[in-house]
Structure 1
Amino acid sequence: MEFPILILSLLSASVTNTASETYLLDDSSGFGRRFDGIGGLSGGGATSRLLVSYPQKQRDAILDYLFKPNFAASLHILKVEIGGDAQSTDGTESSHMHHPDDLNFHRGYEWWLLKEAKKRNPDILLYGLPWAFPGWIGNGTRNPYRNPALTADYIVKWISGAKEAHNLTIDFLGIWNEKPYDVTYIKTLRKTLDAQGFSQTKIVASDSGWGIINDMNKDSDLAKIVDFVGVHYPGTLSPDFAKRQGTQLWSSEDYSTVNDNVGGGCWARIVNQNYVNGLMTSTISWNLIASYYEALPFPRNGLMTAETPWSGQYVVESPIWVTAHTTQFTKPGWKYLLHDKGVSKLQGGGSMVSLASPDNKDLTIILETMSHDHSICIRPPLPPYSVKPQNITLLLKGSYSNISSVYVWRSYFQFGQETSKSDFFRSFGQVKVSNGMVNLSLSVDEVITLTTLSTGQKGQYPNSADDKAFPLPYSDSFDGYSENVEPAFFAQQVGVFETKKSDDPSRGMMLTQVVTFPPIYWCVFNLVFPINVIGNYSWADMSASVDTQIPKANGSSGAFVAVRVDQGGCNSWEANGIFFFIFPIQQKYVLANNLSRTKVIQEGAANLSVTGWNTISLLIKNNTAVGSVNGVTLFNTTVPAKPTNGFVAIGLDSYGLANFDNFKMMSSKDVL
């Protein structure tokens, strides 16, 4: 018998001498789980820091690539960090309440990003999660659950601020990223949400491992409260006890891989197989966009890259188009077909998922054949497996037996010297289906979507600008900003540096480090030296200066300017470089080879204003450092050869208030 065949000859040549495996797609026995969407995560932390500083034309294009429906990634979910004044991977994000009497819903850039996403897609779902908490929440401890009602009220104030200040509805709320959960707190949070009119906000717990399932099985009240079980980096697998429990399962943070073609392959594999293997109905990428300095931890771990706002350059990476294979042809609320009736592993390697619209009028099928070495994620380890070219037949039954045509989209990955020959998200138009049968010849390392929807588009803008070096000389008086803004190009690693209006009218705006008490950290190590980096990590010979003033009340004890700073992120505490500290009350300076000042190069007396402003300047050229305060040279000395290069930075010797103004930096060769 000769079967009617849909020949997709443009996709790949048929696999000769290979029998065709048949896969049934049939809704007669019902459906699998509800699909909850594909998302991206901004934060955890400061991963979108540089995006807000892009020129508007390029910034709008980037946002379209991420959020605009039927254009590119077309994300269903945007997850953001609820800032907690502490380092949370690539920087610190500001809290809406630095202290109990403080309340501000305009700090940072996540509010802006949430609104830009919602502007492009009113149906996008929003998800908030704290990584850290301001210190007053723990009242001297590192425990945010010390007073569950206090913490719940703090978090719900953020939900309320989203609505009242920005007209944003937060759909999902997490507990504490990758840290222990507390059942009493989760119950208190639910009661507080309900009491304040946010009963529609659903709880995801616990953004870590599977352990909360055990508590849900023992506590029916908890089970009713937790709407989604969110885990991180599950390797596409979930334990049987989690599947049996019945709550929707999410990979609420995943990917975290360099966004080259192997990273794109990782993303293609897990977006499909998180459901095929683990029944996880949502997968969220950490991170949304790699918009932080590449020398900080986990470089280029976003769906796309935008790390040089001064040039306007950005790169649309392969994960954007991998995402489009699912997001442009599904929506949250669609339904997976049952396993072996539209959802399965492929006999020759790879996987297939099929999803139907709520009214069952539309069908989307996504197949991936990513090979092991071309789809390795950063975590967890990937067990060996093989993929080979294969012929398959899709047999459409039930409600789908009368489908007469489908639209076809294909991405084909190449690697190594052939990477440039990759072809992503190409439309092959509409093709006919005869008698409910589709024959495909699948190559290795490709993603194919077949769908009844005609709305797909490979959106494109003209190529972004060429990359350019960070502009030098560079200066910032901070006068061009409104209050509570992080100035362009600075990337706070410890502490929170916000623009404030100076009491001195001649100064206008200034930059103030505002954290006065150690926060409840997310990082393993206590980070107690506020530091704010800027520039190009490859810089070696640099000159930097800044005016600084330490208030008498709640002030830090010392301030610094530094060059060749070699560390950021959770390892900021061990940063090496050339650090020039001044201590006004002690009337002394310290030149050190590291942030923690355990490697002192030189120290001595200095004539410093105790409550007024001091200008500190540091010049490094080869192995010589020259430092001055208020125009008076304090040292001209030899410094260690290492580190040879790094960021420029300003910062403090301890938490406490301190003001900065008139920041300047240039290459040492440009110093007269």
Structure 2
Amino acid sequence: MNRRHSSVLAVLGLLLGGLAVLSPSAQAATSTSITVDGSQSGRVFDGVGAISGGGGNTRLLIDYPEPQRSQLLDYLFKPGYGASLQVLKIEIGGDTNSTDGAEASHEHTQGAVDCGQGYEWWLAEQAKARNPGIKLYGLAWGAPGWVNPTANSFYTTNAITYLMDWLGCAKQHGLGIDYLGGWNERYNGGDTTAMTWYENLKSALGRNGFASTKVVAADNNWSTADDMGKNPAFKAAVDVVGVHYPCGYNSTFTHCGTIGTAQALGTPLWSSEGGSLDTSTGAGPVARAINRDYIDARMTGYLNWPIIGAVYPNLYYSSDGMSVANQPWSGHYDIGRTTWVTAQTTQFTQPGWHYIDTASNYLSGGGSFVTLKSTNNSDYSTVVETMDATAAQTADVTVSGGLSGGVVHVWATNVNSTNPSDWFVRQNDITPSGGHYSVTLQPGYVYTFSTTTPAGAKGTATSPATARLSLPYNDNFETAAASTSPKYFSDMNGAFASTACAAGRSGRCVQQMALTQPVHWTDEANKAPYTIMGDAAWTDYTVSVDAMVPQPGTVEVLGRVMRQSQNNNGLDAYHLKVSDTGAWSIVRTDQSWQTVTLKQGTATPLGTNKWHTVALTMDGTQLTARIDGVAVGTATDAVLPNGQAGIGVGGYQTAQFDNFAITGGTTPLSPVGPVISGLSGKCLNAGATRLVNITENGNPAQLGSCTGQASQSWTSANGALTHEGLCLDVTGGGTANGTKVELWECNGGANQQWQPQSDGTLKGTQSGRCLDDPNATTTDGTQLVIWDCNGGANQKWALPK
């Protein structure tokens, strides 16, 4: 192409949102020629979507007030508004933990089908209402115990019956399921039992009137494709090869390779789970994956896990998804950059379009591009990402093969910017000359060049400010919640649902519905059912509930629930456990499910089918157990300073609960908010040690520009500063000047205690030294330390209030 003769060069030196139209004398150093030829071949595009499930990640969304709930749904599903998702994958709940929570089954006991359980049907209905063309995909992580009473495996005839019953529920809800998987991430290469199971599943779909539902296998790795190449019957049963994290897990998603046998199958290949990244810091890797899955592996579908971080912030993956919504009582939410890098593809394409292979490749200066053409064989969209670029570069585009030579519309997202006004911004249109145009691409952007325009206007709804869930809090469960789960409660194992009260009590109660230990997906040491709720800022309070056990067993109340480790492999919390025999104990658990018994004893037996009130009071370091209003024992412990509340059952019994209440203690509720430097006005920030912005042990305490992001939310409680269930900690209990400060599991140590001083400094109890911004630095990312207290501005901090 002779760029000197392009009419687009009439705009000289134009720079909008990182896009520059080139002048003859102002060319970027690196150039890539892109030929968009509509006559060239490519695979059929199946869509970009996200996953609700694999851990209750959507749980709190249904409890959001209006209009915020509808706004969040619009940002997810409404065409032309936000992420505009094209595929929704939902968990087939199994009453068992599947990452950050448990989702309720439609069939707790064999043959007793209840199509009203959970919230996934509601979500699918909301998605369909906004986008009738969205594709639905179901997958199980676990299942009720009756599916396999002898082994922890889903590959049984009962499981196929279970799935057919679930599809029947979908039909009751007026929903057609386009795709169906087997058992999430539990297929191993050469597993003949599993291969036969998929063949039987395919046959069952046809027999039961669901022949249009396509089978996805096996939601794990490339061994599925290997086995399909060797086993014709297995290959015939599988409609889509679903691979998880083909670009790597918790990585930058730079390379997305595949084995040759997969591409030779002729079967659609999907990244049926990708992501697991923070809603904003993970946007760059997601932008890479959406393009590079196809360039490297010819994968035609990408599903991000999870769809939304509508889980409590003390859970492990709480900041992942398209957006974060963890305060249903305030209505506050945050729309992340991942929403907008997704929109750069979804708002300009549709499933059924075709990739153009010759117009899908890597940029010479870093980054990649893919091109898709419409089913009308005229319109096209080219999506470009420059995540790996270090300098501006040129794209020199030639359009041919019957595709439109008309105006090219341009949108851009600056992925490196934290300013929402830089995300998904329309640029000036380009008018090609003779089928040619050239542009300059800036590093760290996603661009879309398309002859189409979005179906609607970009979403502009904003959320209210954050707020605490005030005390006292009471729920007698008589008012129907938005789902079968009680309002604000998030199940971690088992299934807690509203039902008629038993044992002579009228009205509505909450019952644990799972009768036997489920076929489980996670491997936590403690699989007992429990559910949590509330505000992590709660410090001193009493949690009480009326409880009834119909069989011999134990009920419990939980308090100061702090951090849960990955996949429920431990929980920092206090528990009051009470047995039908009268045996009781106050215990503390940690993130490895190690249990410390703080106090125990025996009271009058509760018996079965009788109602009793169980309460745990936490007042500073004093913990008091009460049964039916009588104090039966007191313990002293200083490890856990604040946290949520909950209820639980010692095993898979159908205990009932009523009149749940939380009342304030002797000290006021601690505030949640930023800790601000007196020197720079910047904020105490919980940094990340990895690409994924997961709060975990060892994350550094840093200085950062105050943006209101979740990593700057702190609670001051009982001498500790906590963030998402972890404590501000002097590394290794060090006392020397310059010792780093980080986040760590709360342990009650003096190195996690901070004393606010009258001059505004924060003095460490163990070291006697102050939280310090070294060398009075004002640079974002500066590692904070302890230093001799000197009253300097770099040691002064304004606590949240």
* Shared fold per TM-score greater than 0.5: yes
Preserved CA contact (<8 Å) 2:304 2:321? yes
Within a 5 Å distance, the mapping from 1:421-570 to structure 2 comes to 423-481=422-480, 485-503=484-502, 507-551=506-550, 555=551, 557-568=553-564
1:5/1:230 Cα in 2 relative to 1: closer, same or farther (>3 Å)?
A: farther
Of 497-506 and 284-293, deviating more is 497-506
What amino acid maps onto 1:25 in structure 2?
Answer: V
Secondary structure of 2:544's counterpart equals: strand
How many angstroms apart in 2 are the aligned matches of 1:597 and 1:284? Answer: 36
- SS of match in other structure, 1:348: coil
Letter in 1 for 2:452: L
Q: Do the aligned partners of residues 659 and 528 (structure 1) sit closer, same or farther apart at CA in structure 2, a change above 3 Å counting?
A: same
SS in structure 2 opposite 1:118? helix
- Deviations 1:53-102, CA, capped at 9 Å, x for gaps: 01121111111111111222111000000001100011110111111131
Deviations 1:378-421 (A, max 9, x none): xxxxxxxx543101200112213x51211111112335xxx337
Number of the residue aligned with 2:331: 312
Distance in 2 (CA, whole Å) between partners of 1:49 and 1:16 is 51
For residue 461 of structure 1, report the CA deviation from its aligned partner: 3.7
The answer to whether the 8 A contact 1:559-1:581 is kept is yes
Please give the alpha-carbon distance, in whole angstroms, between the structure 1 residues aligned to 2:587 and 2:320: 33
Shift of 1:24: 1.3
Q: Secondary structure at the match of 1:349?
A: coil
Contact 1:619 1:625 in 2 (8 A): yes
Pair 421,156 (structure 1): closer, same or farther in 2 beyond 3 Å? closer
**Whole-angstrom distance in 2 between the partners of 1:569 and 1:51:** 22
Contact 2:99 2:567 in 1 (8 A): no
Q: Which deviates further from its counterpart, 300-309 or 592-601?
A: 592-601
Alignment check: 8 A CA contact 1:293 1:307 kept: yes
- The match for 1:575 is 571
For the residue of structure 2 that corresponds to 1:103, the secondary structure is coil
Paired residue total = 641
TM-score normalised by length of structure 1: 0.92
After TM superposition, give the deviation of residue 605 of structure 1 in Å: 1.8
Q: 1:320 to 1:609 in 2, by over 3 A?
A: same
Within 5 A, what are the aligned runs for 1:230-379? 230-235=242-247, 236-260=256-280, 262-338=281-357, 341-371=358-388
For residue 161 of structure 1, report the CA deviation from its aligned partner: 1.2
Q: For residues 10 and 313 of structure 1, what CA distance do their matches in structure 2 show?
A: 35
Indicate how the Cα distance of structure 1 residues 550 and 505 shifts in structure 2: closer, same or farther if over 3 A, else same: closer
Render the CA deviation track for 1:513-543: whole Å, top value 9, x for unaligned: 1112111110023543211111123433221
- Report the Cα distance in structure 2 between the residues aligned to 1:483 and 1:571, rounded to whole angstroms: 26
SS in 1 for 2:166: helix
Taking the aligned partners of 1:190 and 1:347, their CA distance within structure 2 comes to 45
Residue 40 of structure 1 pairs with residue 45 of structure 2:
no
Counterpart residue number, 2:773:
none
2:84 is matched with 74
Check if 1:22 corresponds to 2:33: yes
Amino acid at match of 2:228: M
> What is the identity, as a one-letter code, of the residue corresponding to 1:10?
L
After superposition, the Cα gap between the structure-2 partners of 1:114 and 1:69, relative to the gap in structure 1 and judged at 3 Å, is same
Rounded Cα–Cα distance in structure 2 between residues aligned with 1:118 and 1:237: 33
Paired with 1:669 and 1:458, the residues of 2 have a C-alpha distance of 51
Higher relative contact order (CA 8 A, sep 6+): 1
How far off is 1:16 after superposition? 4.7
Q: What code does the residue aligned with 1:255 have? A: G
Counterpart for residue 628 of structure 1: 626
Structure-2 residue corresponding to 1:393: 396
In 1, Cα distance between the equivalents of 2:182 and 2:567? 25
How far apart in 1 are the matches of 2:617 and 2:567?
25
Q: Is the partner of 1:301 in helix, strand or coil?
A: coil
Do the aligned partners of 2:476 and 2:660 also contact (CA within 8 Å) in 1?
Answer: yes
Q: Which moved more, 1:109-118 or 1:426-435?
A: 426-435
TM-score, normalised to structure 2, is: 0.77
The answer to whether the Cα contact below 8 Å between 2:52 and 2:306 also exists between their aligned partners in 1 is yes
**Could you tell me how far apart the structure 1 residues matched to 2:477 and 2:565 are?**
25
Tell me if the contact between 1:494 and 1:527 (Cα under 8 Å) persists in the aligned partners: no
1:670 to partner: Cα distance: 6.8
CA 1:195–1:335 in 2, change beyond 3 Å: closer, same or farther?
same
RMSD: 2.0
Contact conserved, 2:7 with 2:431, CA < 8 A, in 1? Answer: no
- Secondary structure of 1:189 counterpart: helix
Aligned to 2:753: none
Q: Which residue in 2 is equivalent to 1:102? A: 112
Q: Distance in 2 between matches of 1:481 and 1:278?
A: 48
- Pairing 1:651–2:622 present: no
Please identify, of 61-70 and 455-464, the stretch whose mean Cα deviation from structure 2 is larger: 455-464
Whole-angstrom distance in 1 between the partners of 2:325 and 2:120: 16
How far did residue 661 of structure 1 move?
Answer: 0.5
Return 5+ residue gaps in structure 2 as ranges: 189-193, 248-255, 669-801
Match among 2, 5, 13 for residue 3 of structure 1: 5
Distance 1:161 1:48 in 2: 20
CA distance, structure 1, for counterparts of residue 297 and residue 648 of structure 2: 46
Does the CA contact (< 8 Å) of 1:491 and 1:534 recur in 2?
A: yes
Question: Is 1:232–1:251's contact at 8 Å kept on the other side of the alignment?
Answer: yes
One-letter code of the match for 1:388? A
Give the SS at the match of 1:322. Answer: helix
SS at match of 2:261: helix
- 1:191 Cα deviation (Å)? 0.7
SS for the counterpart of 2:154 is coil
Report if the CA contact (8 A) 2:62-2:482 is conserved: no
Alignment-derived partner of residue 204 in structure 2 = 192
**Per-residue CA shift, 1:295-330, capped at 9, x if unaligned?**
101121111111111001111111111111111111
**Is residue 416–residue 445 contact of structure 2 (8 Å, CA) maintained in 1?**
no
Single out whichever of 521-530 and 206-215 deviates more from structure 2: 521-530
- Residue deviations 1:262-295, cap 9 Å, x none? 3111111111111111211000010111100011
Counterpart CA distance in 1 for 2:326 and 2:440 is 39
Report whether the alignment pairs 1:131 with 2:128.
no
Indicate if the aligned counterparts of 2:106 and 2:114 stay in contact, CA closer than 8 A. yes
Q: Give the structure 1 partner of residue 241 of structure 2.
A: 229
Which amino acid in 2 is paired with 1:621?
D
Distance 1:321 1:193 in 2: 37
Query: Aligned AA for 1:399?
Result: G
Q: Check if 1:594 corresponds to 2:589.
A: yes
- Report the residue type matching 1:327 in the other structure: T
- CA deviation vs aligned residue, 1:145-195 (integer Å, no higher than 9, x gap): 2xx3221111111011101x2010000001111112601110111111100
Tell me if the contact between 1:5 and 1:439 (Cα under 8 Å) persists in the aligned partners: no
| 8 A contact 2:31–2:365 mirrored in 1 | no
CA shift in 2, pair 1:569/1:115, >3 Å: farther
Q: Do the aligned partners of residues 483 and 109 (structure 1) sit closer, same or farther apart at CA in structure 2, a change above 3 Å counting?
A: closer
Distance 1:425 1:608, change over 3 A: same
Query: 1:54 maps to which residue?
Result: 64
Q: 1:210 corresponds to which residue?
A: 222
User: Given that residues 477 and 486 in structure 2 are in contact (C-alpha distance below 8 angstroms), is that contact kept between their aligned partners in structure 1?
Assistant: yes
- 2:391 partner letter: K
| Alignment partner, residue 378 of structure 1 | none
Tell me which amino acid in the other structure corresponds to 1:330.
T
In structure 1, how many angstroms separate the alpha carbons of the residues matched to 2:109 and 2:259? 41
Equivalent residue letter for 1:6 = V
Match of 1:614 among 612, 616, 625: 612
**Alpha-carbon contact 1:306-1:314 (below 8 Å) kept:** yes
Which residue among 132, 139, 152 is the counterpart of 2:160? 152
Mapped to 1, the partners of 2:505 and 2:332 lie a distance apart of: 37
Unaligned runs of 5+ in 1: 372-385
Distance between the aligned counterparts of 1:449 and 1:300, measured in 2? 27
User: Shift in Å at residue 425 of structure 1?
Assistant: 1.0
**What is the aligned partner in structure 1 of residue 150 from structure 2?**
140
Q: For residue 292 of structure 2, what is the amino acid of its counterpart?
A: Q
Identity across the alignment (%): 34
The CA distance in 2 between the partners of 1:597 and 1:353, in whole Å, is 50
Go from structure 1 to structure 2 and tell me whether the alpha carbon gap of 1:652 and 1:597 turns closer, same or farther (over 3 Å shift).
Answer: farther
In structure 2, distance between residues paired with 1:580 and 1:17: 67
